[in-house]
């Protein structure tokens, strides 16, 4: 995984069939990047459904959640509609896995993203990361702790 305290590389991917989302456009918010192996798989569905319930907790910390997998924009659309997700899923589809590779969370053997989390601060610096075993849903406690630590360190500085 990319090291903490380094700059998160910029990228642009489809978030809907006709819209692209550029990471650098989201500065001023904390970003949670959730790389996951595959739409529709049981563990990914559980993990993303949990995070979908967590959005109000994330927004308390001024944080935006973004899911990323190698599935296509149309697959993401169906997955998202079916599960009533209220956060963007980015299609790391062509060239396949390019962003996952950039973030060092690509599984060459399976041709999928690993199950990995990054938390970026408002300036786009990586402040927390976590690589989960592919079959294990990491939950959200690590993300919340990371967001809280960021807010705490900020209030100490100011």
Partner 1 sequence: MSQLKPAVNSKDHVQGKNEAPLELVEYGDYQCPHCGHAYPIIKNVQRSLGADLKFVFRNFPLSEMHPDAFNAAVAAEAAELQQKFWDMHDIIFENQQKLDMISLFFYAKTIGLDLERFKNDIQKSTLIVKVEQDFESGVRSGVNGTPSFFINGKKYNGDWEEDAFNQYLKSQLSVT
46 binds partner 1 (CB under 8 A): yes
Instruction: Return the range that interacts with partner 1 (CB under 8 A); candidates 6-14, 16-24, 97-105, 138-146.
Output: 138-146
Q: Which of 4, 6, 22, 50 is in the footprint of partner 1 by CB under 8 A?
A: 50
**Least gap, CB of 1 to partner 1 (angstroms):** 20
Q: Which of 27, 86, 123, 154 is in the footprint of partner 1 by CB under 8 A?
A: 86
141 binds partner 1 (CB under 8 A): yes
Distance CA 40, CA 77 (A): 12
44 included as an active-site residue: yes
Q: Which of 13, 34, 54, 147 is in the footprint of partner 1 by CB under 8 A?
A: 54
- Catalytic residue numbers? 44
């Amino acid at each position: 995984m990319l090291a903490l305290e380094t700059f998160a590389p910029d990228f642009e991917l489809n978030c809907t069939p006709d819209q692209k989302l550029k990471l650098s456009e989201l500065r001023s918010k904390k970003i949670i990047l959730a790389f996951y192996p595959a739409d529709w798989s049981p563990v990914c569905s559980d993990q993303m459904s949990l995070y979908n319930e967590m959005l109000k907790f994330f927004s308390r910390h001024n944080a935006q959640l973004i899911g990323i997998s190698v599935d296509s924009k149309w697959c993401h659309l169906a997955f998202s509609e079916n599960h009533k997700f209220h956060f963007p899923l980015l299609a790391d589809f062509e060239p396949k896995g390019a962003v996952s590779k950039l973030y060092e969370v690509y599984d060459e053997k399976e041709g999928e993203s690993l199950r990995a989390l990054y938390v970026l601060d408002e300036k786009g610096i990586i402040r927390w990361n976590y690589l989960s075993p592919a079959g294990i849903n990491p939950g959200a406690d690590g993300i919340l702790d990371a967001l809280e630590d960021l807010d705490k360190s900020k209030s100490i500085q100011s």
